[in-house]
Every structure is written in structure tokens, then in C-alpha cells.
Amino acid sequence: MEAMPREAPATRAAAPSYRIVAAARDDDPIEGMAREVAHSLRDRPPWLASKWFYDDRGSQLFERITLLPEYYLTRAEAEILEDHAEALLARVRPREILEIGSGSGRKTRRLVDAGLAAGSLEAVTLFDVHRPSLEGWLQGAAAHHPRLELTGIVGDFERDLGSVPACERRMVLFLGGTIGNLHPDREVPRLLKGVAGLLGPGGSFLLGVDLEKDPDVLEAAYDDRSGVTADFNRNALRVVNRRLGGDFAPEAWAHVAFYDRDRRWIEMRLRAEEDCRVRVDRAGLDLAFREGDEIRTEISCKYTRASLEARLPGTGLAVSEWLTDARGRFALVLLEPSP
């Protein structure tokens, strides 16, 4: 794809610097959200896309989740990176790191340091729906690594990856198990194909995958005792209220999280605790909910090596390394273009 994403308003004048561009070509992101939410809340059963969790408050709540004793995913992935980042980057020698769904990018630093130690890294690009997260990371990186070419792209990785310019020796990162938030049959193969199309000569893809395990451990991770995940879940309603003129009463919705053993995913829902009527003005919605009605807000699919590999045929990718933490809870998978 040759088109460069449209330049967003200037971020900083003086060096050391970075730039932030918008991937989406449609003019009004609120209009786009209104269309999507009008569709998903009218669907039966109703649902909201998990990307709507992540405004400032939702991004901060996710950071708190990563520190909870029950939420093992981030620590397990960081352990794998601690043990393997240097060897991996020394072997792959990427010129650019492109991370999608980068969030606060805490783990990204480890990989950037390893890329610099390998002597190959010249550029880092982060891609996320939440612009302030990009800014936070890029500001810090610009101060510490003034020689790196630093770019943030604000966009939806399910829709906008085609606007990322081509590049050689690119290593794409998709960490944290965020692939689990995509439907394993409908959305995962599409995303993997999209990423394969970005790799270019010498490219590679480092993917974090949460693994199947005891359902009690999984359910505790998504229903923590301190209620941070419940607050995160309700944040989807606050985001709809603020951006689309809705009048959901978030506290009147109970947090529900359970492991669906057949589908092998955690499902998060919000359950109405009383009959209510909800208007979402900008989406043209006037909805009636009965006590007990639910809105699905997220799936978080858990994989085995076999179930992940079953999604690869036709994507142009093959597993070249499968690394796990010592307790086998989480995998970091290196994928490379299949011959």
C-alpha cells in the first residue's frame, strides 16, 4: 500500500520528535462509531465492540488490571520477553518494529532495547485507537532514543492496517493476548492475513497468545476481587454516553464474566439489574431493556498450539518459534512468511 496515512495536527515542534498520523480516511470518527453502535446494540443479542473500552479512563483501568494478582497474562508475557527478547531480536534483526494495539507499551521497551542492542533497529511505529497512549510512549522514546524514527498511527487494526506504508525487515508485534479479543474463525484469519501483507522482505510477526488453562484461574482473571475489571467493563457504557450522547446508567449494569468451555473463550457481558430505557441520541437509538437482559462486551479466546496453528492456513504465515513462560500459561509466537 503506497498511500501514507493523513497527517494529524502537529504534535511537537522541537526535536527530539515523533509524529502521529490518523489512519482512517473517513472524516468523522464519531459518525463511524455511531453507525457501528447503532448496528451492534440493535443486534440480537446486543453487543459492543471491545475497542470502545479504551478512552483515557478505560486505558488506565486496563493498566490497573495488568497489575492485579489474578491477571497473570501481562506478567507471564513479560517473563517470556525477559528470557528471550535479546536472542529473538539478534536473530531477526528488524529495521522497524510496528506494534498494533500497543497501549502503554511497557513491554515494547524491552523489545526496542533488544533491537538497539542487535544494531539493526532504526524505526518504531505504534498503532492504537487511543491517541494519548501513543503520545505517552512516543514522548518517552523520543527523549531516550533521539535517533529512532518514531511514528504513532491512530486507527482500528481490524479496518485500517492497509494504510500502513510498506517497509523492509519489519517486525510486527501484537502483544498481551489481544488476538483473543477477536473472533477466532471470522476475525483472526483476516487480521493474520492483514499482518502478513505488512511484513515485506525479512519480516516477522511476534504474537502474544493466552493459553487454555483451569477455568477457575481464567474466571478469576476476568472477575477480580477488587472490582477493577467490573469498572473496566462498565466503561464501555461511559464511552457510549460521552461520545454518542447516551444515557446508560453504568452502575445499574452488573459485570458478568464466565469461561465458555465449548468455545474456549472468556465472555464478558453487562447485565441490566432493572428494567430500563436507554437513548443514544447520536446513534438514533431508543432501547428498552428488561431486568436480566445482557450486552456482550468482549470475548477473550484461549488457545493451544494446535488451535492457533489451525488458523494459519491461507494467511501466509507459519510458526517458527513457540515460547512459553515457565508455567505454560502464555505463549509468545514468532511467525514468519510461509514458503
Spatial contact of 67 and 106, defined as CB atoms under 8 Å apart: no
Number of residues that bind ligand SAH (CB under 6 A): 19
Q: CA-CA distance, 94 to 119, in Å (whole number)?
A: 9
Per the structure block, which three cell numbers stand in for 50? Answer: 471491545
> Long-range contact list for 187-191, CB < 8 A, 24+ apart?
187/158, 188/301, 188/311, 189/311, 189/314, 189/315, 190/158, 191/157, 191/158, 191/161
Tell me which of ligand AVI, ligand SAH, none is bound by residue 298, counting a contact when its beta carbon lies within the kind-specific cut-off of 5 to 8 angstroms.
Answer: ligand AVI
175 binds ligand SAH (CB under 6 A): yes
Q: CA-CA distance, 298 to 183, in Å (whole number)?
A: 10
Which of the stretches 33-41, 175-183, 269-277, 278-286 binds ligand SAH when contact is defined by CB under 6 A? 175-183
Among 73, 124, 256, 280, binds ligand AVI (CB under 6 A): 73
Helix-, strand-, coil-residue percentages of the chain, each rounded to 5: 35, 25, 35
* C-alpha distance from residue 7 to each of 4, 32, 109, 122, 153 (Å): 8, 19, 25, 21, 10
Measured from the CB atom, the residue of 232 and 303 that comes closer to ligand AVI is 232
298 binds ligand AVI (CB under 6 A): yes
Measured from the CB atom, the residue of 42 and 327 that comes closer to ligand AVI is 327
Tell me which of ligand AVI, ligand SAH, none is bound by residue 152, counting a contact when its beta carbon lies within the kind-specific cut-off of 5 to 8 angstroms.
Answer: none
Least separation in angstroms between residue 322's CB and ligand SAH is: 18
Spatial contact of 198 and 318, defined as CB atoms under 8 Å apart: no
Strand, helix or coil for residue 325: coil
Measured from the CB atom, the residue of 54 and 303 that comes closer to ligand SAH is 54
Least separation in angstroms between residue 181's CB and ligand AVI is: 5
Which of the stretches 156-164, 217-225, 264-272, 293-301 binds ligand SAH when contact is defined by CB under 6 A? 156-164
Measured from the CB atom, the residue of 243 and 302 that comes closer to ligand AVI is 302
Among 18, 47, 62, 303, binds ligand SAH (CB under 6 A): 62
Tell me which of ligand AVI, ligand SAH, none is bound by residue 156, counting a contact when its beta carbon lies within the kind-specific cut-off of 5 to 8 angstroms.
Answer: ligand SAH
What residues from 178 to 237 belong to the interface with ligand SAH (CB under 6 A)?
A: 178
Among 18, 72, 157, 248, binds ligand SAH (CB under 6 A): 157
Least separation in angstroms between residue 107's CB and ligand SAH is: 6
Of 137, 141, 173, 168, give the one whose Cα is nearest residue 157: 173
Enumerate residues 6+ apart whose C-beta is below 8 A from 87.
Answer: none
Least separation in angstroms between residue 180's CB and ligand AVI is: 5
Per the structure block, which three cell numbers stand in for 78? Answer: 513479560
List helix spans (H) across the chain: 29-42, 56-66, 73-92, 108-118, 131-144, 188-196, 215-221, 228-244, 305-309
Which residues in this chain contact ligand SAH in the complex, by CB under 6 A?
Answer: 51, 54, 62, 66, 74, 101-103, 107, 128-130, 133, 156-158, 175-176, 178
